[in-house]
Amino acid sequence: MRFGFHISIAGGFSKVTKRALDKKCQSIQFFSRNPRGWVCKPLDTSDVTAFTAAVSRTTIHPIFIHMPYLPNLASSDGKLWKRSVKELCADLKRAELLQVPFVIAHIGHSNDQAEERACERVSQAIERAFESVPNTVRLLLENTAGQGTEIGYCFSHLQGIIAGSGHGDRLGICIDVAHAFAAGYDVSTKRGLEKTLQEFDQCIGLGKLCLLHLNDSKARLSSRVDRHWHIGKGCIGIDGFRRIVNHPALRSLPGIMETPKKTERDDLMNMKVIKSLVEKTAIGYKRKGQ
């Protein structure tokens, strides 16, 4: 497994690579603009060139862009929905310019709709965005904890969105293990992890799983509360993460940590812990359809 963190773009993309290397990252994720605003300034060509050149001098891969927090692709509000689709289109275009192969999106909130209808809205948003931006960037749908009116907390939601989009070849899944745990998937135990992966494989197919967000959970199982915590210090625990990073169905995936950070020491601590859990050998794993 290739480990990394969400990296700040403060001061420009040209600074991302050094920050990643300082944290001993093998893979990275970042926002392409302000994550808490709607303003999307054009990319600076020289900054993009500096970023792509810096990345080419490293072995960091794969790289992911995370969409901002404000868009809601499930919204029943026509104005907000169209604006959210526009923001997705912008990140798909920015990813191509930055030579980043993946964009990660939060599923959204149903608010006053039935969950099934909200999932249909997400499918429609994806279809419209992909038709507007027909590049090769893949969109990864991130599962949620199911907090409030969030959809995407169960695998059937993700499967329905993919099936309804008409563009399954450009879609993949990012599983946040803290979100999964809070949503009721007990990835903290051996039996629970196996059951979770079997359900995912049967519902969606492990071939669609492209990324793990490796966050421990400060919230309990099935709490539907999204609270990230340091690796091994939360409810999933150190043994839970040992099984996750060494599982033969998961160990070849990238793992991005979004753990709390007060100082750089926190990131270095979490990187040290997660790497210490990796075992040298593992048996093969047969995925669905193989």
**Residue of 6, 33, 228, 243 with catalytic role:** 228
The tokens of 88 are what?
């997705």
Residue 228 falls in the annotated catalytic set: yes
**Residue of 226, 227, 247, 267 with catalytic role:** 226
State how far the Cα of 61 lies from the Cα of 49, in Å rounded to an integer. Answer: 17
**Residue of 22, 44, 61, 69 with catalytic role:** 69
**Residue of 6, 19, 33, 66 with catalytic role:** 66
Residue 167 falls in the annotated catalytic set: no
Residue 142 falls in the annotated catalytic set: yes
**Residue of 94, 128, 138, 179 with catalytic role:** 179
State how far the Cα of 194 lies from the Cα of 118, in Å rounded to an integer. Answer: 29
**Residue of 47, 120, 127, 258 with catalytic role:** 258
**Residue of 138, 213, 243, 247 with catalytic role:** 213
Residue 69 falls in the annotated catalytic set: yes
Residue 6 falls in the annotated catalytic set: no
**Residue of 106, 121, 128, 227 with catalytic role:** 106
Per-residue three-class SS string for the chain = CEEEEECCCCCCHHHHHHHHHHCCCCEEEEECCCCCCCCCCCCCHHHHHHHHHHHHCCCCCCEEEECCCCCCCCCCCHHHHHHHHHHHHHHHHHHHHCCCCEEEEECCECCCCCHHHHHHHHHHHHHHHHHHCCCCCEEEEECCCCCCCECCCCHHHHHHHHHHHCCHHHEEEEEEHHHHHHHCCCCCCHHHHHHHHHHHHHHCCHHHEEEEECCEECCCCCCCCCCEECCCCCCCHHHHHHHHHHCCCCCCCEEEECCCCCCHHHHHHHHHHHHHCCCCCCCCCCCCCC
What is the C-alpha radius of gyration for the chain, rounded to an integer number of angstroms? Answer: 18
Say if residues 12 and 44 touch (Cβ distance below 8 Å).
yes
- Catalytic residue positions, numbered: 36, 66, 69, 106, 142, 176, 179, 213, 226, 228, 258
